[in-house]
Structure 1
Amino acid sequence: MLILSRKINEKIMIGEDISVTIIEIHGDQVKVGIEAPKSVKVFRQEVFEAIQNENRAAAVSNTNLEGLSGIIPE
């Protein structure tokens, strides 16, 4: 892990096209702004983990798809 010190309005570059800007600091809370191409998905870690858990649950689901056979024309 790389640890950097930054002040308000200072940036961190990740590669050539992602920047992280320190927007505000209040006590132990830091607000950051992230600029990245639309093709790069940016999530808070807890949201990312929830999405991963939902995807895993859906992958192992025992959903009965036989009822869908009449929906798709052959």
Structure 2
Amino acid sequence: MISVPPPAGTRAMWLRDGSRGEEYYRRKITEGKTPAEARHALKRRLSNVVYRTMKRDQQRQPAAAA
């Protein structure tokens, strides 16, 4: 599997005040994770969201005619 980094600034957007990403990041910090570990967990969560979105979009598209 090829690892492609998210567009620049994507993680920063997820950490804006009041966002779901910030809530997730803060929850990881309160669970005792270091800031680096919390960022890593956030990156993993972001990649999971992107992957699910891509899979859902792929399923919605009709099969290509051969």
| TM range, smaller chain | 0.3 to 0.5
Rg (Cα) greater in structure: 1
Higher strand share: 1
Q: TM-score, normalised by structure 2?
A: 0.37
Q: TM-score if structure 1 supplies the norm length? A: 0.34
Greater RCO structure (CA 8 Å; 6+ sep):
2
**Greater helix fraction, Structure 1 or Structure 2:** 2
